């Protein structure tokens, strides 16, 4: 390469299958069974809008991702261009820090392969009830002592540039997450509240209260702390109300989030009000299936599960997604 010529950064989105050999992949339908959620777990998700305590990563995986994360928190200008969103500090509170980035899977091999983790893929298939693609990943990291909040929100309020709503979020801890270091909180049952407006992500924790009814406010008091050991995950519905408080502890609270969508999800960008927020996102055309290399197909039920496909406990996606938006 000539001097001063910009270095070409390789985009890992060019690989639509694992590259780092991090996870043993099931070789046949029977090998998927070990990762399967039970009927009771699927029912809990239906009723409450989330489930928690699912192991995705072992300690080596967590260490590897935390090493890569260090690199991702000080990227070059070229590497930054691969991200759909990158804020070293998104917190609106001047005394706090919240690192938030979307697109790590395009930059380092560990985060690339994470989206093919078999435990993640099996559970996501069951909770979406259909074959699915990667929508995108996200990093949410709060340093010790002055980690900022993630205000109460519903994920789908930020995703109306896609349709229909048939998405799922998986939150994976890269540190043990407790109330002290700013773990996620859920409001069980809030996935049946319908779609609420955006009220901000990194400013006033409680801003969403301005758009809630009295009845919803009362349900809010039933919020639960989603405490999890590192490497473990929770999954939540796109309308689930969730948020996380500040980190005043002497431990960081790092997390990676995987967002999936049904395999036939379409672009809905034509009249999207926040189009400027999408300038670094992959191209998404109105009414076109989001099937470019940036949205890899992560799981095809019939192909992976063969005759097991009808025995796997799955949500009723019509009831859970279409009926609630
Ligand atoms: O990690 C956090 O505190 C926020 C995560 C979040 O908003 C999500 O998983 O959708
Ligand atoms: Fe969220």
169 in contact with ligand 1, CB cutoff 6 A: yes
* Domain limits for position 147: 32-73+89-322
CB neighbourhood size of 22 (10 A): 19
Of all protein residues, the one whose alpha carbon is nearest to atom 7 of ligand 1 is: 243
Range in 4-18, 132-146, 209-223 the model is least confident about: 4-18
What letter does residue 10 receive in the DSSP assignment? P
With respect to residue 289, please indicate whether it lies within any of the assigned structural domains.
yes
How far is the centre of ligand 1, averaged over its atoms, from the C-alpha of 289 (Å)? 26
How far is the centre of ligand 2, averaged over its atoms, from the C-alpha of 220 (Å)? 16
Beta bridge partner(s), residue 169: 236, 259
CATH number at residue 318: 2.60.120.620
Of all protein residues, the one whose alpha carbon is nearest to atom 3 of ligand 1 is: 244
pLDDT at 7 over 60: no
With respect to residue 22, please indicate whether it lies within any of the assigned structural domains.
no
Q: What is the pLDDT of residue 161?
A: 98
Judging by DSSP bridges, how do beta strands 184-186 and 167-173 pair with one another? unpaired
3-state secondary structure of 270: coil
With respect to residue 13, please indicate whether it lies within any of the assigned structural domains.
no
How far is the centre of ligand 1, averaged over its atoms, from the C-alpha of 319 (Å)? 25
Using most ligand atoms within 8 A of CB, pick from 120, 170, 171, 178 the residue to mutate for ligand 1. 171
Q: What is the pLDDT of residue 96?
A: 96
Range in 162-166, 199-203, 229-233 the model is least confident about: 199-203
257 in contact with ligand 1, CB cutoff 6 A: yes
With respect to residue 174, please indicate whether it lies within any of the assigned structural domains.
yes
Q: Average pLDDT over the chain, rounded to whole?
A: 96
Q: What is the pLDDT of residue 124?
A: 98
**Sheet with 150-153, side-by-side order of all strands:** 150-153, 242-244, 184-186, 224-225
Using most ligand atoms within 8 A of CB, pick from 178, 244, 252, 260 the residue to mutate for ligand 1. 244
Q: What percent of the chain has pLDDT over 90?
A: 96
Q: What CA–CA distance (Å, rounded) separates 112 from 117?
A: 10
Element (H, E) at 70: helix 59-72
1 — pLDDT class (breaks 50, 70, 90): very low
325 — pLDDT class (breaks 50, 70, 90): confident
Q: What CA–CA distance (Å, rounded) separates 186 from 233?
A: 13
How far is the centre of ligand 1, averaged over its atoms, from the C-alpha of 245 (Å)? 11
Using alpha carbons, list the distances in angstroms from residue 105 to 10, 172, 269: 12, 14, 23
181 in contact with ligand 1, CB cutoff 6 A: no
With respect to residue 15, please indicate whether it lies within any of the assigned structural domains.
no
Query: Which bound ligand lies closest to the C-alpha atom of 254?
Result: 1
Cβ contact 180:143 at 8 Å: no
Q: What is the pLDDT of residue 92?
A: 96
Beta bridge partner(s), residue 172: 233, 256
Q: What is the pLDDT of residue 105?
A: 98
3-state secondary structure of 46: helix
Over residues 119-140, the pLDDT tens digits come to: 999 999 999 999 999 999 999 9
In total, how many domains does the chain have?
Answer: 1
CA atoms within 13 A on the CB side of 66: 17
Cβ contact 325:156 at 8 Å: yes
With respect to residue 6, please indicate whether it lies within any of the assigned structural domains.
no
Mean pLDDT of 268-283: 96
With respect to residue 185, please indicate whether it lies within any of the assigned structural domains.
yes
Q: Is the pTM of this model over 0.95?
A: yes
Chain-centroid distance, C-alpha 283: 20
With respect to residue 164, please indicate whether it lies within any of the assigned structural domains.
yes
155 in contact with ligand 1, CB cutoff 6 A: yes
Mean pLDDT of 87-111: 97
Mean pLDDT of 13-32: 96
Q: What percent of the chain has pLDDT over 70?
A: 98
How far is the centre of ligand 2, averaged over its atoms, from the C-alpha of 207 (Å)? 15
Mean pLDDT of 289-311: 96
Query: Which bound ligand lies closest to the C-alpha atom of 177?
Result: 1
How far is the centre of ligand 2, averaged over its atoms, from the C-alpha of 37 (Å)? 22
pLDDT at 64 over 80: yes
Q: Which residue would you say has higher pLDDT here, 3 or 131? A: 131
Range in 4-8, 10-14, 111-115 the model is least confident about: 4-8
Cβ contact 168:127 at 8 Å: yes
How far is the centre of ligand 1, averaged over its atoms, from the C-alpha of 257 (Å)? 7
């Amino acid at each position: 390469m000539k001097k001063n010529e910009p270095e070409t950064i390789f985009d890992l989105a060019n690989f639509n299958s694992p590259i780092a050999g991090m996870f043993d992949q099931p070789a046949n339908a029977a090998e998927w069974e070990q990762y399967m959620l039970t009927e009771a777990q699927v029912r809990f998700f239906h009723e409450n809008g989330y489930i928690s305590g699912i192991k995705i990563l072992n300690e080596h995986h967590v260490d590897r991702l935390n090493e890569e994360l260090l690199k991702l928190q000080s990227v070059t200008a070229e590497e930054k261009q691969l991200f759909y969103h990158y804020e070293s500090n998104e917190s609106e509170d001047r005394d706090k820090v919240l690192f938030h980035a979307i697109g790590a899977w395009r930059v380092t091999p560990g985060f690339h392969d994470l989206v093919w983790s078999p435990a993640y893929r099996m559970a996501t298939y069951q909770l979406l009830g259909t074959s699915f693609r990667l929508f995108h990943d996200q990093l949410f990291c709060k340093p010790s002592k002055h980690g900022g909040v993630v205000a109460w929100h519903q994920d789908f309020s930020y995703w109306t540039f896609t349709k229909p709503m048939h998405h799922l979020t998986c939150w994976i801890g890269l540190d043990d997450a407790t109330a002290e270091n700013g773990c996620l909180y859920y409001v069980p049952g809030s996935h049946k509240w319908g779609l609420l407006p955006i009220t901000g992500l990194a400013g006033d924790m409680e801003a969403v209260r301005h758009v809630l009814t009295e009845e919803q406010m009362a349900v809010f008091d039933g919020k639960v702390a989603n405490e999890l050991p590192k490497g473990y995950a929770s999954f939540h519905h796109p309308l689930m109300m969730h948020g996380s408080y500040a980190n005043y502890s002497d431990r960081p609270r790092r997390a990676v989030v995987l967002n999936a969508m049904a395999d036939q999800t379409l672009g809905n960008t034509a009249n999207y009000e926040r189009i400027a927020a999408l300038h670094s996102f992959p191209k998404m055309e109105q009414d076109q299936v989001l099937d470019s290399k940036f949205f890899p197909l992560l799981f095809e039920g019939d192909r992976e599960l063969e005759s097991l496909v009808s025995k796997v406990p799955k949500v009723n996606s019509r009831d859970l997604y279409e009926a609630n938006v």
